[in-house]
Structure 1
Amino acid sequence: MEEADKYSKEMEVAVRVVHMVSVMCQKVQASLVADRSDQVKSKDDDSPVTVADWSVQATVGWTLSEFFGKNVSIVAEEDVETLSKPESAGLLAAVVKTVNECLAEGPQFGLYPPDKTLGSLEILEAINRCNSTGGRTGRHWVLDPVDGTLGFVRGDQYAVALALIDDGKPVIGVLGCPNYPMKKEWLNYHQNSSQTLSTRSTLSPKREQGCVLYARRRSGQAWMQPLIHGNEKLQWPNSAQQVIVSSIDDPSLATFCEPVEKANTNHTFSTGVAHDVGLRNQPLRVHSMVKYAAIARGDAEVFMKFSRAGYKEKIWDHAAGVVIVEEAGGVVTDAGGRPLDFSRGVYLEGLDRGIIACSGATLHDKIVGAVYASWDSSNL
């Protein structure tokens, strides 16, 4: 079987469901920014989690189960512990309402809704169904329902990330970027010691706000389509346009992305590597896997992340983005130049120092070399 045919159904379902939940996230974020008092809880690691996190996971979990069977393997970030507590009854009710409203819009996205309204137990079951730990064999869907939750609650950039891993290799990647406009000129940058990528929703036409990027492994192509709004219908794949990485290979002209959060990222070391390799532009700090989207679209050329000691990268934070960047013509490895290993459970085990994504091999090789030259003096 040709690889294109092998994953055609999985690709279509993944694009449609990510598109659907991305539109839902736009609505939830709008209400959250206005009043987030009863829509944000704190997880064990003190990061905020919202109605959107659980609603996306429930919606995607339910949809994948309907198409691929109740035994479908889904690795995802959220669990039902907080949502199941008596004091979270109001939050659970909001999730149930949001999921049912989202699923009711299914026909607009080429998906069918449930026969009847889903109740609390069914919603909790759909969320809890996403409890696989992945592995070296078989197919495993990998979901980050709202990647970049801090960006989400601040009205900034975030992503819905869904990937399919087959025998340890990511083969499909889909990124829903609800605040990332189709055109680079609609972007806004907050100036400080670095630049922070934001959205200019008050100036950009609604049709330009938000996009979905997707790719299939070994296709040599990555695609982007605008989010639909109102009573439009998703035309897939007719509405998509191909995205290609930037051709810039001169470090002095390249745009360099890194995470906003300092808790698990060593900005000091990244800055040193950037200086050593000749990256002269201010770093562009971006919430979420939108960094991978920026590389794939040619809006930036370099993404580096060097985690602090003790932090372990999770597969759902990278799988979808890696497929899209690589098929758009880019290169993604660990800081030692080795492919990322998605076959060893929920963590990127064996990761060498950090992650480097580039628009091409020339920049990538220079950065890997700079990492080796700088490592002995680092404080990671």
Structure 2
Amino acid sequence: MLDMTPILTAVRQAATLTRRVQAEYLERSDKAGREPVTIADYGSQAILLRAISQIFPDDAVLAEEQGQQFMTLVGDEQRATVVQLVGEALGESVSEAELVNWLDHGRGLAADRTWAIDPIDGTKGFLARRRYSIAAALLIDGQPVAGILGSPGYPTGDGAGLLFYAQGSAAYVEPMGGGKAYRIAISGRSQPRDLKVVESVERDHAHLEKMAQVYAQAGIKQTNVEGVDSQDKYAMIACGDADLYLRLPREANPQHRIWDHAPGTALIQAAGGVVTDIDGSPLNFASGMIMVGTQGMVVSNGHAHDQIIDTIQAVLKGT
């Protein structure tokens, strides 16, 4: 069985860094296509891939950030800050060259085992000081078999956030700051009027208008719909805090990225839930970075999943 402990430790170290950046060093850069990136993205990814390079050196990696991008987009002073913050989070001296090597570890490898990494899932939420996730999934032969979601902003009494993870057929949650692990499972809510729904905050992420039509036709109360950033939506369904997440595409050929959905999918499946495309077919995690052919996502506790799929298809067909 996969020993998750070193990866969980790395996620906690990454969360220490991201919290500090969000509080003290919050500044945005833009990648190609105007996608936002922060120094926390680079620092978090370096910490996660350092752990993977040490424990699973032969595994392939699909990760959002790149070493060359770090060297060209980030100024000298900011790069030095990232090196310093990573070193402080790890408790050891780190060089810029080491950090760049970690950022690119496993890229381009061909292997049966692949890690999908999103160092800050929900960068826009992070920049707005809302919720975000630190996400990692292990895929074997194109299927997610383990997933981790570090959720520093998940509402808790102590404000420390939560750490969710799936291993085999079980899903767990621990306090981000450390403590006892508890097994989690999806809710038993089955009637559409009772379902708690989560959806993207950003309007460009999904067709919110079509989704509102689905809610209305299915009998879901609009007052039960909450906007939530990042893969925290998956975590909420896995632990029973929510029941349904829809992502209907705004365009004909959406470019969904594997690291945005594989970690959450592993968690949902281990917690007893269901994840499919909007027509009920499986998501495609076997085509590399882009989930080729995948139109959207229906993530649920499973109890009304088929009904929701039927309603989506009726709305899309205009019936």
TM-score, structure 1 as length reference: 0.79
- Residue 358 of structure 1 aligns with an amino acid whose one-letter code is S
Compared with structure 1, are the counterparts of its residues 312 and 121 closer, same or farther at alpha carbon in structure 2 (3 Å cutoff)? same
34, 55, 60: which one aligns with 1:73? 60
1:213 is aligned to 164
Listed as ranges, the gaps of 5+ residues in structure 1 are 105-112, 183-203, 229-233
2:232 is aligned to 290
2:79 is aligned to 92
Residues of 2 paired with 1:87 and 1:61: CA distance? 19
101, 104, 109: which one aligns with 1:128? 104
Does 1:307 find its partner at 2:295? no
Count of aligned pairs: 317
Compared with structure 1, are the counterparts of its residues 16 and 86 closer, same or farther at alpha carbon in structure 2 (3 Å cutoff)? closer
State how 1:249-268 maps to structure 2 within 5 Å: 249-268=190-209
1:119 is aligned to 95
Compared with structure 1, are the counterparts of its residues 130 and 156 closer, same or farther at alpha carbon in structure 2 (3 Å cutoff)? farther
Residues of 1 paired with 2:21 and 2:127: CA distance? 10
258, 277, 299: which one aligns with 1:334? 277
Residues of 2 paired with 1:364 and 1:245: CA distance? 13
Compared with structure 1, are the counterparts of its residues 40 and 133 closer, same or farther at alpha carbon in structure 2 (3 Å cutoff)? farther
- Residue 341 of structure 1 aligns with an amino acid whose one-letter code is N
Residues of 1 paired with 2:14 and 2:235: CA distance? 18
2:135 is aligned to 161
1:131 partner SS = coil
Does 1:28 find its partner at 2:16? no
Residues of 2 paired with 1:272 and 1:133: CA distance? 43
Residues of 2 paired with 1:311 and 1:373: CA distance? 20
Residues of 1 paired with 2:128 and 2:95: CA distance? 30
1:12 is aligned to 5
Instruction: Report if the CA contact (8 A) 1:264-1:311 is conserved.
Output: no
Residues of 1 paired with 2:129 and 2:30: CA distance? 18
2:205 partner SS = coil
- Residue 48 of structure 1 aligns with an amino acid whose one-letter code is P
Please report how far the alpha carbon of residue 42 of structure 1 lies from its aligned counterpart in structure 2 after TM superposition: 1.1
151, 161, 176: which one aligns with 2:125? 151
Compared with structure 1, are the counterparts of its residues 87 and 43 closer, same or farther at alpha carbon in structure 2 (3 Å cutoff)? closer
Residues of 2 paired with 1:87 and 1:343: CA distance? 32
1:280 is aligned to 221
Please report how far the alpha carbon of residue 131 of structure 1 lies from its aligned counterpart in structure 2 after TM superposition: 2.5
- Residue 40 of structure 1 aligns with an amino acid whose one-letter code is R
Does 1:224 find its partner at 2:173? yes
Please report how far the alpha carbon of residue 161 of structure 1 lies from its aligned counterpart in structure 2 after TM superposition: 0.3
- Residue 35 of structure 2 aligns with an amino acid whose one-letter code is S
Instruction: Report if the CA contact (8 A) 2:13-2:47 is conserved.
Output: no
2:52 is aligned to 64
293, 307, 316: which one aligns with 1:350? 293
- Residue 41 of structure 1 aligns with an amino acid whose one-letter code is S
Please report how far the alpha carbon of residue 103 of structure 1 lies from its aligned counterpart in structure 2 after TM superposition: 1.1
1:263 partner SS = helix
1:81 partner SS = helix
Residues of 2 paired with 1:260 and 1:133: CA distance? 35
1:19 partner SS = helix
Residues of 1 paired with 2:262 and 2:99: CA distance? 26
Compared with structure 1, are the counterparts of its residues 55 and 249 closer, same or farther at alpha carbon in structure 2 (3 Å cutoff)? same
Residues of 2 paired with 1:317 and 1:364: CA distance? 21
Residues of 2 paired with 1:364 and 1:164: CA distance? 25
Please report how far the alpha carbon of residue 78 of structure 1 lies from its aligned counterpart in structure 2 after TM superposition: 0.8
Instruction: Report if the CA contact (8 A) 1:255-1:301 is conserved.
Output: yes
Residues of 1 paired with 2:240 and 2:73: CA distance? 47
Please report how far the alpha carbon of residue 307 of structure 1 lies from its aligned counterpart in structure 2 after TM superposition: 1.8
Between 1:300-309 and 1:121-130, the stretch displaced more is 121-130
Please report how far the alpha carbon of residue 48 of structure 1 lies from its aligned counterpart in structure 2 after TM superposition: 2.0
Between 1:172-181 and 1:80-89, the stretch displaced more is 80-89
Compared with structure 1, are the counterparts of its residues 159 and 132 closer, same or farther at alpha carbon in structure 2 (3 Å cutoff)? farther
What RMSD, in angstroms, separates the aligned Cα atoms of the two structures? 1.8
- Residue 216 of structure 1 aligns with an amino acid whose one-letter code is Q
304, 309, 315: which one aligns with 1:374? 315
TM-score, structure 2 as length reference: 0.94
Residues of 2 paired with 1:319 and 1:120: CA distance? 30
Please report how far the alpha carbon of residue 81 of structure 1 lies from its aligned counterpart in structure 2 after TM superposition: 3.3
